[in-house]
Amino acid sequence: MFRIGVNIASDKIKAAVLDEYFRIIGRGQSEKRKKRTADELESDITAVINQAMDDAKIDKDYILSIGIAAPGTVDKESGIVEHASNFDFELIPLRDLLWKHFDKPIYLENDANCLALGEFKAGVGTRGDSLMAVTINKGVGGGLIFDGKIFGGCNGTAGEIGHMVINVDGEQCTCGRRGCFETYASVRALVAGVKAELETDKDSAIMGMIDNDLDNLNEKIVYEAIANGDALAIRVFEKYVYFLSVGITNIVNIFQPETLVIGGDICTLGKTLLNPIVKMVEEQRFSIHSDRQTDIRLCESGSDMTLIGAALLDE
């Protein structure tokens, strides 16, 4: 028997069929869309699940359960996606919408919690019984594992680290507050910072990479410019990493997890990203004299760990 995991990302939806050894044996992926209605969400998830089963050459009779990694706040008991500040939907009864297509147990969980669960059971979280996942994408999310289980707090929304304030009266956040962590540490913030610099500094090699059109700037070009040592990109990146490290140091000071794993496409920067974060946390953490410290790592498997964690929600 097999399990299916689904990951609802900001622009596309992925699905994977997992075997009993946590190996992905089939995949499905939707086309990119900037926004989805509830009907489109239902249709696209159903399609990618069927794609993944076709790829694995199985039908739904061999599926034990389906797990959904959803953005924002999720009511696991009712199966409702309540709110996602970076998406265009609220109060979507996703479990009921999907159950009529598959007639299988369906579990919902916040996507960062799914990453944390995947890393804890099948990734880097092999030491101890606690793990914190920090997801850096369009927004910033967090997932918590304590005593080997997802910690959701009294209402399932614990871990929304992207909306802790790190700069009082700072920039406006999509959640309505000002100075939130994700307004400074998201990929969107990094790209916006580079774009702002390019408006007054046209000498950067980035201008050639985007054909002198700032509308062509995206995160992949920014990552490439950073990797190539472009002076403007590095200048913005160093400021960005400072804010990212402030937030991660706060997280370490509060939770002191055995492992903290950073996820998202930005992890393609590897040690260029990890080393300055580790250095700053080592300098600023409260537990500086302790013999036992949080092990900070990058997620090395892209979005697969989120899919794996989603598939394992029935355990």
Domain 2-118+304-314, CATH = 3.30.420.40
Q: Is the pLDDT of residue 57 over 90?
A: yes
Q: Please tell me the predicted confidence (pLDDT) of residue 72.
A: 78
Is there a common fold for 2-118+304-314 and 127-298?
A: yes
Instruction: Name which of 315, 314, 303 is nearest 111 in CA terms.
Output: 303
Domain layout of the chain by residue ranges: 2-118+304-314, 127-298
Q: Is the pLDDT of residue 157 over 90?
A: no
Q: Is the pLDDT of residue 103 over 80?
A: yes
Domain 127-298, CATH = 3.30.420.40
How far is Cα 16 from Cα 6, in angstroms, rounded to an integer? 7
Q: Is the pLDDT of residue 126 over 70?
A: no
Backbone angles phi, psi at 52, to 5 degrees: -65, -40
Strand partners, 180: 165
Backbone angles phi, psi at 132, to 5 degrees: -120, 130
Q: Please tell me the predicted confidence (pLDDT) of residue 88.
A: 65
Q: Is the pLDDT of residue 86 over 80?
A: no
Asked whether the whole model's pTM tops 0.85, one would answer yes
What number is the average pLDDT over the span 131-148?
93
Q: Is the pLDDT of residue 85 over 60?
A: no
What number is the average pLDDT over the span 28-54?
90
More confident residue, 129 or 180: 180
Q: Please tell me the predicted confidence (pLDDT) of residue 68.
A: 96
